[in-house]
Structure 1
Amino acid sequence: MRNNFQDALLRREGRGPWWAKGCMGEGCLELRTEYRCDNCFGSRLLCKRCVVERHRDEPLHILQKWEGGYFRPCSLQSVDPSLRFQLGHPPGEDCDFRDGPHKFVVLENNGIHELAVDFCGCMGATPVLDQLINIGWFPATVKEPEMCATLSLLRRFHTLNLQGRVPAYDFYNTLEVLSDRAGMRDVPDRREQITLMAREYRHLQMCKCAGRGHDGTGVPQSADSAELLYGIDATKRRELVIPCRACPHPGINLPEGWEKEPPEKAWKYQLILSEDANFKMKGHLTSTREKDPTLGPGFAYMVANDGYLEHLAKYVDQDEISHCVVFAALWRANNKRAKGLRASGIGLVSCSRHELFRANGTGDLQKGEKYANMDYLWFSSVMGIALLSIIASYDIACQWFRHFWEQMKALTDEMHLPESVKVQFKGVERNWSWLNMIARPVSVMGPGSREDTIDNFCGYANWRKTVSMGNSLLRKMVLAIPKAMLHNRAFHAFTDGLREGHEDELMRWEAEVRAWEQDHDQPCPYDYPEDNAPTMEEEEHARAEKGDSRTNKPASFILAGLEIEEEQYAADLQRKRTLLLGMVKRLRDEQAHFMPGLAALLGTEPPVESSRRPEEMQLHLPSSFAKEVCERICVADLPAEEEWLHVAQAHEALHDLRRHLRIRTLAHQFKRRHTAGQGAYTKSQVLQSGIEERIKEAAAWYGTAREALVQLRGPGDWEAVLQVLQKKDIRGMNERTLNDEEKEEERKARIQAGLPPDEEEVDEFGDVVEPTVLFNLETGEGTRTLSWIWYTGAARAVSDVTTNGELHDDIRVEWTKAQARADRWREEVILLEEEMRRVLAYCIWKAEWWDERRAARTGISAELAEGLRAYATEQAARERYWAAVAVEVEVDDEVAYGEYDDEEGDADEDLLD
């Protein structure tokens, strides 16, 4: 079959089966046929006269001429050098006062064309710009234009640039190849012009989509001038932004009286923002602002540079924001090689829940991550806000919030938040994958091109998320509803198991949680009691107080490696592979400094960019090699640094293991009291599966840390404390395996619950769960030998109940966390429902907004008025379509909720109240 395809393609290289029949032009009797068109249907053979007549109104087609026994590419101008193309008149009509001929280079999707063009010179003729745009040609300049690109080509490049990150240089090279594959023509070079036209085109598209062409009110040119500015000239800051429709916008998508809602409902109307710095988005010192100005200064996502740079000039000597030890090495890697840069990166503010970029929330970082930069960007992004509550997320929020309000006072009054706005702080990290894709091309752009490009890519990202927001919210709701029910039931099951004999403690714990939620200065109910063994962070803090901090030294390198090891075992690794690969790459950069002999030792080791998955990549920390090898390839302090970190890691793992075993003890108590039916058994399994997973994780981390210590230390007295952890050692203080009689009771309970009597329980890792039972230390089993994990090192608690009869603090923390999980998932369902309503309300508002702009401009031509009316009508229709889709999403949401309304619904009946 492939031979048939090949033969068919080769036949097209010749003249085909009809060449002897003469010209295929209508009514033509010419027998000599030399030409065919690659763009016309059928590639029919035509004579010279017919090919010229057929293409008088199609000058941008690709022609071929049969010459010398094969088809050679040719232009229409070469077929008839006298041919001229008339603009400003209907097809076939010449101008009596034509202005021309003008030699034009036109860029089209199929290549580069050279034509002779005449402009209309009649009395009252439209300007040259209009004559070109009317036929779909976009000129490179309005002063004596000699080059154009078709709107079709600019639209295609714009899409390829945004979606596929195709740069203008490569796109133009493609046009050259299409025009002259064999290098036999002298193709004009117009790379610089296409870059300029593409930049102007996308700026105009942003203005068009924002309705700037429909502006009929105008704004004063200056405070002391009566002359008004219209359209793009009257654009204000932030007006080209595509906002997040699911976020709250007073007066647009919030219900009346929202500001008077009580606290238990008002939380739905808070704005959740994230801020972060990205040091991949560098900018080199190319061109100047005078030569390369921004087309839309402050119109969209990039902050206006006038006020921004004026503010930064006051803080030239301000130090970068300090980073904790875990991030120190990675931060240094991001900020190295800063010489010759205009910007070492960018800071950015976005909405956390939907990841849309905020207006005027993006700006260059001149050197490092300074408070002056990040403060200005954050306050700029919330300027003029009319909400009552904002949650501010930042990966270093623990430092940032301390002087937050003092930092605001250093800004202009228009950027101050009203006193009524409550700001809460959280620490998170943002996802930079979208903008990182254009990090390399924007790094070599001039300042104006860089800012315009970032604006455009931010806008496109917001647009794509806006288009898919209905489906996105539905997917989240389908996930949230069962999660909310699951954690709601698990929490009720946990509470039922504690209620007998501990009702007062539950009430006290509930009060402690609510008190902490109102005032974070109160004791945190989610904190676990501290073991005596220091953690890795505490050990580093103690060294810092003694002046022996390892910040920016080998400890930071080892900590980064341990963090990567943890990510390599992550359950949700599929979503994190890109992030993990970046972490490994940065570790390799540091490794070259701290392990200089590694490269020579691993001469055959594949590079980090190989096809291996990031979770399978060997990190080659010192513990991976024999002691004598470490001395040869590592700097002096590195093995010792890894050693003390693994000691702390092992003690932390044991602490976690003991805590989760206490929780499992309690879960077994509940299971044996409440296995009278299928529902009760299911509830207990929900709780137990999570506990068993955490027990396995803690045991695995202990084993990893101990293996590393054996490699680094070798055998010794330390093994009496950190012993080998076997499967039989992983048991609670009052747990043992079931005897035969108890196994029979377990079998009867399974039959009663409607479950297979002899089926082994398998955990999420595929391992068989070994049944265990509680025993009383005071009645017959008190002499049983306990696992060594309960009396080694910092172990101190012997039961889930303390000496005064109260539940252990670990039980309290697990209960409060179970309650928090149930509450947060319930709130997620409520918030998603509110966001769906907001999106619907925004679509309806936006449709009406476009309706109002159909006839907003007066005193214009009938043609322009019709164009404005058509565009506004199209946008309003699209908004109403989205609104209809949003209604369908809400219906689907109700159906999805109903699918989970089973016999256990009693515990969930108030889930959405």
Structure 2
Amino acid sequence: MAPSEGSTVRGARGVEQRNVTHVDFLCKALRLEEMQAKLRQRAHDVSELGLNASPQMKAQMTVLCDKLASGLRQHYETLAEVAPQLMNSGHQVLPDAPHADEILLPSRLTPDQVDNMSLRELLELEVQLRVIHAYDAIASLKKALAMRSFWTRHFKAQYSSQGKRTKGQASLRSCQARVKEASRAYSACYEWLTKSAPEVAENFGLQKLCNRDLMLLSEYLEQQHYRQNGRRLSWIWTLRPKFSAADDVDESPDSLKAVVESWQNEFTRLEYVHARAAVDRWTEEVKILECEMPAVVRWFEKEAMRWSCMSSGQGDDAGFRAYTCRQFSLYQTLADHALEVFTAVTGGEEAWDSIWDNPKIGNDDEGSAPMDVDNGT
């Protein structure tokens, strides 16, 4: 290989290695930005709860704060290597408080500063990665909204007799927190993207995220908001990823219908999965009850017969006979009352006779044997 060719190869490798270093540095910085948004959201939630904030929430916030502080130290160490000219220009290259640090990047600088310090290439790379990061944040937001829609329905359907702390309520709060965190992450990314390259954000279809954009898709469909003037579907549900700003996006009615239908199918899938699980669980409960109800009646009758036999086999002891007769009457009354109640709840005498004659538990298709209630097996 000629010396000139070798130097050209080494130069190309050097440029490639530098680009990889820059991409890795910017990806970690955007991840820190997302962590900072999550930290601010959790700090806001803790301050809203005040004394009601749980120790677990405070501990999680402390862990996140320490992790962010460690990442910020590494960020500024790498920044001094990637862009040493920032140190010579008087910019602060030391981390501030985790929740207040601006996470110094080319997008934080003015256009003149970017040109004077030869950071235009790094800024263009940051803009490209920010667009990708914004799309990821919107995807996470839509998933969180889908789960919030599902748990909202199930939360409203819970019985009033249930306790305040239920799985549905905990899951709903978790989904609401995910929606807030994804919203903050996108808003932080979009803010710096519009400051450094507003035309790029517009060309890629990115917009400012408002509270009205967080409408549940199921609410938009079920309440027929699309029939009302001025109530268009939120842009986050129609946003399509593009490889470049020049790519055309199909905004025809058929395209919009396909987007809405795809998300509606996702809701239907979630509803089916959870409904099927609930059906299987309650079917199992019904089978257990169909086994336990005849067992209860048979046990009462068995106890009544036992005390009746004891009463007839003890001669002339009046006190003992009176006690055994009382016990016999007690258990016989319990058996009659249970039989009356169980017959009513099972749907009548015909349904009860079917359960009484075939007390089974488990899956009948697998050949499960009747349970011997007298022997307790």
TM-score, length basis structure 1:
0.22
Q: For residue 722 of structure 1, report the CA deviation from its aligned partner.
A: 0.5
Higher RCO structure (Cα 8 Å, ≥6 apart) = 2
> How many Å separate the matches in 2 of 1:663 and 1:799?
15
Larger helix proportion of the pair? 2
Residue 802 of structure 1 aligns with an amino acid whose one-letter code is N
Q: Is the 2:137–2:185 contact (alpha carbons within 8 Å) kept by the matching residues of 1?
A: yes
> How many Å separate the matches in 1 of 2:226 and 2:65?
49
> How many Å separate the matches in 2 of 1:575 and 1:681?
25
Alignment-derived partner of residue 595 in structure 1 = 83
Residue 724 of structure 1 aligns with an amino acid whose one-letter code is K
> How many Å separate the matches in 2 of 1:579 and 1:734?
37
Equivalent residue in structure 2 for 1:807, among 269, 282, 293: 269
Specify the SS of the correspondent of 2:216: coil
Q: Is the 1:674–1:680 contact (alpha carbons within 8 Å) kept by the matching residues of 2?
A: no
Q: Is the 2:29–2:103 contact (alpha carbons within 8 Å) kept by the matching residues of 1?
A: yes
Q: Is the 2:72–2:98 contact (alpha carbons within 8 Å) kept by the matching residues of 1?
A: yes
> How many Å separate the matches in 2 of 1:807 and 1:680?
28
Q: Deviations over 1:149-199 (max 9, x none)?
A: xxxxxxxxxxxxxxxxxxxxxxxxxxxxxxxxxxxxxxxxxxxxxxxxxxx
Alignment-derived partner of residue 316 in structure 2 = none
Alignment-derived partner of residue 787 in structure 1 = 234
> How many Å separate the matches in 2 of 1:716 and 1:631?
19
Q: For residue 687 of structure 1, report the CA deviation from its aligned partner.
A: 1.7
Alignment-derived partner of residue 34 in structure 2 = 566
Q: For residue 812 of structure 1, report the CA deviation from its aligned partner.
A: 6.5
Q: Is the 1:661–1:732 contact (alpha carbons within 8 Å) kept by the matching residues of 2?
A: yes
Q: For residue 696 of structure 1, report the CA deviation from its aligned partner.
A: 0.7
> How many Å separate the matches in 2 of 1:625 and 1:707?
14
Moved more, 690-699 or 789-798: 789-798
Q: How many residues align?
A: 224
> How many Å separate the matches in 2 of 1:793 and 1:640?
22
- CA, structure 1 residues 650+676, in 2 after alignment: closer, same or farther (shift >3 Å)? same
> How many Å separate the matches in 2 of 1:556 and 1:584?
14
Identity over aligned residues, as a percent?
A: 21
> How many Å separate the matches in 2 of 1:587 and 1:717?
25
> How many Å separate the matches in 2 of 1:793 and 1:712?
22
Alignment-derived partner of residue 555 in structure 1 = 23
Q: Is the 2:148–2:172 contact (alpha carbons within 8 Å) kept by the matching residues of 1?
A: yes
**1:387-786 maps to which residues of 2 (within 5 A)?**
552-568=20-36, 569-570=38-39, 572-602=60-90, 605=92, 607-608=94-95, 612-679=96-163, 682-715=166-199, 718=202, 721-735=205-219, 775-777=222-224, 782-783=227-228, 784-786=231-233
> How many Å separate the matches in 2 of 1:680 and 1:659?
26
Q: Is the 1:662–1:799 contact (alpha carbons within 8 Å) kept by the matching residues of 2?
A: no
- CA, structure 1 residues 665+579, in 2 after alignment: closer, same or farther (shift >3 Å)? closer
Output the aligned Cα RMSD: 3.6
Specify the SS of the correspondent of 1:561: helix
> How many Å separate the matches in 2 of 1:717 and 1:579?
30
Q: For residue 690 of structure 1, report the CA deviation from its aligned partner.
A: 0.4
Q: For residue 709 of structure 1, report the CA deviation from its aligned partner.
A: 1.3
Specify the SS of the correspondent of 1:724: coil
Q: Is the 1:567–1:573 contact (alpha carbons within 8 Å) kept by the matching residues of 2?
A: no
Q: For residue 625 of structure 1, report the CA deviation from its aligned partner.
A: 1.5
Specify the SS of the correspondent of 2:240: coil
Q: For residue 701 of structure 1, report the CA deviation from its aligned partner.
A: 1.1
**1:208-227 maps to which residues of 2 (within 5 A)?**
none
Can you give the 5+ residue segments of structure 2 that lack an aligned partner in the other structure?
A: 1-14, 43-59, 242-255, 278-377
Larger strand proportion of the pair? 1
> How many Å separate the matches in 2 of 1:614 and 1:806?
42
> How many Å separate the matches in 1 of 2:93 and 2:25?
21
Q: Is the 1:729–1:789 contact (alpha carbons within 8 Å) kept by the matching residues of 2?
A: yes
> How many Å separate the matches in 2 of 1:665 and 1:710?
31
Can you give the 5+ residue segments of structure 1 that lack an aligned partner in the other structure?
A: 1-546, 737-773, 817-913
Q: For residue 689 of structure 1, report the CA deviation from its aligned partner.
A: 0.5
- CA, structure 1 residues 798+593, in 2 after alignment: closer, same or farther (shift >3 Å)? same
> How many Å separate the matches in 1 of 2:187 and 2:201?
18
**1:261-410 maps to which residues of 2 (within 5 A)?**
none
> How many Å separate the matches in 2 of 1:720 and 1:670?
36
Residue 593 of structure 1 aligns with an amino acid whose one-letter code is E
TM-score, length basis structure 2:
0.50
Q: For residue 706 of structure 1, report the CA deviation from its aligned partner.
A: 1.0
> How many Å separate the matches in 2 of 1:564 and 1:702?
13
Q: For residue 731 of structure 1, report the CA deviation from its aligned partner.
A: 1.2
- CA, structure 1 residues 549+710, in 2 after alignment: closer, same or farther (shift >3 Å)? farther
Q: Is the 1:799–1:808 contact (alpha carbons within 8 Å) kept by the matching residues of 2?
A: no
Alignment-derived partner of residue 56 in structure 2 = none
Q: Is the 1:627–1:711 contact (alpha carbons within 8 Å) kept by the matching residues of 2?
A: no
Specify the SS of the correspondent of 1:560: helix
Q: For residue 782 of structure 1, report the CA deviation from its aligned partner.
A: 4.7
Q: Is the 1:731–1:787 contact (alpha carbons within 8 Å) kept by the matching residues of 2?
A: yes
Q: Is the 1:776–1:782 contact (alpha carbons within 8 Å) kept by the matching residues of 2?
A: no
